[in-house]
Amino acid sequence: MDYKERELKLLLEQETYEGMLRNAAEVLAPLEQTNYYFDTPDFRLGKSGIMLRIRKENADWILCQKIKENVTSTFLSSIEMEQPVTEEIFEACKQQAGEMIPLLPEKGQQAVTNLISPSELGFRGSLSNKRYPIKLIDDYVFELDHTLFPDGNEQYELEIEGIKNEDEVETILRTLTQLGYTYTINKKGKYARFKEALERV
């Protein structure tokens, strides 16, 4: 399955994160996620705007590829392709990462093989994340993340999906401010911050 993802990412202080959990109209059961990332040793895919991962989400395994769109907007826009896989497939890809390329849809395969050969692809590491889906404003998907990066750095973040344009971004930000929440707009996805964390290790 592939679709266009538009999401607004806001970095939060721990106090704001905890306040949102307390005050949200609804908080769903958390998702325990581990992202396992694959790239070349010099992160050629990431530098070209391509993220390739297998995520364990509770008991499920999901292969995901994101191809970033170069748009000048506050929110992040990308083509996302994902499909369920098994733990056995994950283990095989961890040992021989090139085996995941045929599992991608054709346009996803082309995006990768236009840049690298399958033999260059390898497992680069993982990060853990606890995600709470919450209800704050109607018509949007709000997810609170508490992420632990490889260098031990913890980050708190609010992701808002379903953004269509900058006017909607302004409305959401204005509403959050009126509710008393502070935040920092963040245009780096978790993979970009994962790579930065590896450089600090």
pLDDT at 71 over 80: no
Which is it for the CA torsion 126, 128, 132, 138, positive or negative?
Answer: negative
In the numeric block, which tokens belong to residue 162?
């379903």
Burial 113-128 (b: 16+ CB within 10 A, else e): eeebeeebbebbbbbe
Architecture (CATH level 2) of domain 2-200: Beta Barrel (2.40)
Poorest-confidence range of 56-60, 68-72, 133-137, 175-179? 68-72
| pTM for this predicted structure | 0.94
Please state, in angstroms and as integers, the Cα–Cα distance from residue 9 to each residue in 35, 39, 63, 76, 157, following that order.
Answer: 18, 23, 22, 8, 7
Look-up of token digits 């929440």 = 181
Q: 144, 131 in Cβ contact below 8 A?
A: yes
Q: So what's the pLDDT on residue 69? A: 86
Predicted confidence (pLDDT) per residue in 98-128, tens digit:
999 999 999 999 999 999 999 999 999 999 9
* Domain boundary assignment for the chain: 2-200
H helices within 44-149, ranges in order? 44-47, 87-95, 106-113
d(CA 160, CA 170): 13
pLDDT at 76 over 80: yes
Predicted confidence (pLDDT) per residue in 2-56, tens digit:
678 889 999 999 999 999 999 999 999 999 999 999 999 999 999 999 999 999 9
Mean pLDDT of 117-142: 94
Q: So what's the pLDDT on residue 131? A: 98
Average pLDDT taken over every residue of the chain: 94
Residue 144 pLDDT grade (very low, low, confident, very high; cuts 50, 70, 90): very high
Which is it for the CA torsion 154, 64, 131, 129, positive or negative?
Answer: negative
pLDDT at 201 over 90: no
